[in-house]
Amino acid sequence: MKQLVDWKLAASAAKTLMPAGPKIVKQDAARIVEELRIAAGEGLVEAEKISKLVSTAPSQTLVVDRAGWAKAVSQNFAAMLPAELDVPAMVPAVAGAELGAVLSVLGTRVLGQFDPFVGPRLLLNAPTITQIRGDLNVNARDFYLWIATHEQTHRLQFEQAPWIPEVMKSILAQAFEPMAGQNSMSQLGDRLKSMKSEVSELTSIMSVLEGHAMVVMNDVTSIRSIKTIRRRFEARGENRSAWATLLGKLLGMDEKALQYKRGAKFVRHIVDEIGYEGFNEIFAARELFPNADELDHPERWLARTR
């Protein structure tokens, strides 16, 4: 019995392949780290105020470099997937190298994330935040708060609905446990074809979580330059979280289904109709999350649940 992925190799490969990020003098780096920590606290306040959800559990805030981010993501996915599987000897190394290559790309794009499986903890990828803020030429304080509010909304979601991580782990276990004879993660297609309903459910859950966080972050009224940030950020193209991207690659889920916009459109419709308090009922039970059809037709979700 072995781990599906050599997680240390994945983190090491990502560190080797990934550029370190913009060069910043030590004094400026320390200031940015402190500003990001402050933004994390303010982001939780904003997320609670807007979403009408309240944090009930402690959480760490880690401001990390790209190598630290890759290591943390590897730890988180190790906690999500089955600990040991009956797989050929070569699989962990191959999977670790594949995942490391994916992380090396994501580390230059993903700004932060909330990890419910390890910690729990909020990760803020300082080099990438700094680089993208510079590329966009936007106000630093506003941008940090905007990003932090998004990630702290994920914190509130998982605290409100602790069943979500358990469902995610269960679906991933079903997908990965019958791995005997597989040579790499890319050969999961046949298994996944028999799990259409489970993969569809996970897609809907991810889309709603990401969409909800996007709607909340875009409703922060204290960010004066929010319109500029949104316009310039969206002009960069689609931006998905590490969760969405990695799960999409691992499970072969349709990328379009994982885009923020699909879930955001659903959430915005529901919030406009019944407010955040009404929307928050969705976290009470697994059955209250939309199916694939309802995700694209929120009025059908309202008709079923109201």
Tell me what the pLDDT averaged over the chain comes to. 87
7-21, 129-143, 169-183, 270-284: which range is least confident on average? 169-183
83-87, 91-95, 138-142, 152-156: which range is least confident on average? 83-87
Residue 258 has a pLDDT of 56
178-182, 207-211, 284-288: which range is least confident on average? 178-182
Residue 143 has pLDDT above 90, yes or no: yes
pLDDT tens for 148-190 read 999 999 999 999 999 999 998 888 787 766 655 554 455 555 6
Residue 257 has pLDDT above 50, yes or no: no
| Angle at the Cα of 98 from the Cα atoms of 92 and 101, rounded to 5 degrees | 135
| Angle at the Cα of 162 from the Cα atoms of 157 and 167, rounded to 5 degrees | 105
Residue 111: C-alpha distances to residues 11, 50, 65, 161, 240 (Å): 17, 21, 11, 24, 10
The alpha carbons of the chain give a radius of gyration, in whole angstroms, of 19
CB 87 within 8 A of CB 96: no
For residues 148 and 300, what is the distance between their CA atoms, to the nearest angstrom? 32
Q: Binning pLDDT at 50, 70 and 90, where does residue 244 land?
A: low
> Strand locations in the chain, DSSP E?
60-64, 112-115, 121-125
Residue 253 has pLDDT above 60, yes or no: no
* Distance, first Cα to last Cα, the chain: 48
pTM beyond 0.75: the answer is: yes
